[in-house]
Amino acid sequence: MSEAVRVRIAPSPTGTLHVGTARTALYNYLYAKRTKGTFILRLEDTDEERSREAYTQDILDGLHWLGLHWEEGPDVGGPFAPYKQTEKLDHYLVIANELEKQGKAYWAWETPEELNALREQQKSANDAPRYDNSGRNISPEQIEKYKAEGRKPSLRFKIDDNEAVSWVDAIRGEITINASELGGDMVIVKSNAVAIYNFAVVVDDIDMEITQVIRGEDHISNTAKQILIYKALGKKMPEFAHVPLMQDIERHKLSKRKHGEAVHVDSYRRKGYMPEAIVNYLAQMSWTPADGKEIFTLEEAGEMFDMSKVSKSAAVFDLQRLNWFNGHYIRSLPLSLVTERAKAFLDPDQIKSFTDQQLEEIVASVREGLTTLAEIKEPTNFYFANELEIPVEVRETVLGPASARQVLEKTLQHLAQMPWSDSKGCKDAINNIGKELSLKGQALYFPLRAALSAKTKGPDLGTMFSVLGEKQVKARIESAMGLC
């Protein structure tokens, strides 16, 4: 019987949730679903200076918004809290001290100034930066001298430069890195007794029995270092899979420094993107289902996901492509759901006088033309306006002809007979008015549109009548007639 699959996403709360991190989380989540495994969230929060509770909350909220709910945590029940590295600092020290006792690690006493001087020397010689391993052979007398000076040592893990580190990556195939390229003996516990990432992550993955580590390709050199630690601890390492990084359309790395809020997941929520669209787009950036399907739900993706089909090539984040997905979901998701989400982008004081059915009609009348929900305010603002300001050019070209007044007058005469709760019926009634006047098309519709919305383009005219209702329609037509 094969072991149960356990995967994790392990972001650091030193910044907001990056779209690249979200995609990595998504691939972990989909792999867990496809294999009936467990998806876990762990926060690597040992960077005390840069970690922020606000970033933690942003990460949690972003993953939940995308529907990527983790299935385990330090608490009982759910929704679960994430695991946190800061809750295990003593445990890391216990494991690290064992390595030191076995001669696989040692306490190094260099000051930050001495290490910086070494880096500057290497830079001047055009050498790659690396620790020179000089701390391996410090005498007991020298250690006592350093203690007397008040120095605080860091614990370094011994790396044999002659070793070649190899593994079969689930996406990239066989990878081999010479240990001499890893920068010398690496710090695993800082002088403040806090475990370094490359050590803590191995201990965590062992403790959590992680079977697959799915993360960005920028971690490939870290993986080589971590494999050496697995070997030193005598533990089985997980299978590794390194997904390609995300680039912009000009093939630059997608980064917070260069692209700002464009990489922040929550910025898309605030702009009115649908989480279903974000998930669909991120999933297919580097992976295509065997059947070539382009539109799929999170649940469908979880049934189809195949790690071996993830591309090795860099993924290009194309906003126009994302917009296409978003427009699709605005048009295809249940109207009630789209309407509920659209409320966040409308004035709460204005919409409270409308029923849920009316709001759904309003959203339905414009959603075909929306790319994001944030765009909904402009095409619907006339529904909520107390007074309309009809532009001069509309007054002259649309309300100026004598036929415009005829349309408005005849419509006023028929208001009592309008089937107000039926938008299609309202449109049919308008067309019948046109037959009486021998008018159709722009000559019939534009005067009414101008009167009701101050525009000549917009939602279905029948819907406008139905939503605004008899009182508003009457008042707006009478006002427009004063301009004819």
Q: Which residues are catalytic?
A: 256
Q: Please count the other Cβ atoms lying within 10 Å of the Cβ belonging to residue 287.
A: 23
**Element spanning 331, H or E:** helix 319-332
- The answer to whether 484 and 448 have CB atoms below 8 angstroms apart is no
Which amino acid would we find at residue 225? K
Reduced to 3 states (helix: H, G, I; strand: E, B; else coil), residue 53 is helix
Contacts 24+ apart (CB under 8 A), 137-145: 138/108, 138/109, 142/109, 143/107, 143/109
3-state percent breakdown (helix, strand, coil) of the chain, nearest 5: 55, 10, 35
Q: Reduce the secondary structure of 89-143 to three states and give it as a string.
A: HHHHHHHHHHHHHCCCEEEECCCHHHHHHHHHHHHHCCCCCCCCCHHHHCCHHHH
Residue 412 tokens read as 């006023």
Residue pointed to by tokens 């860091």:
154
The C-alpha atoms of residue 310 and residue 261 are separated, in whole angstroms, by 27
Token output for 463: 């819907």
Q: Which residue has the tokens 């929060």?
A: 45
The tokens for 309 are 């089909």
Q: Which of 24, 38, 41, 29 is nearest to 83 (CA)?
A: 41
* Distance (Å, whole) CA 463 – CA 326: 24
Q: Taking the chain, what is the end-to-end CA distance rounded to the nearest angstrom?
A: 83
Structure tokens that stand for 73 in this block: 């945590």
- Residues contacting 26, CB < 8 A, separation 6+: 66, 68, 279, 282, 283
Residue reference for tokens 């933690």 = 56
CA distances from 41 to 29, 54, 89 (A): 10, 17, 18
Length of the chain: 484
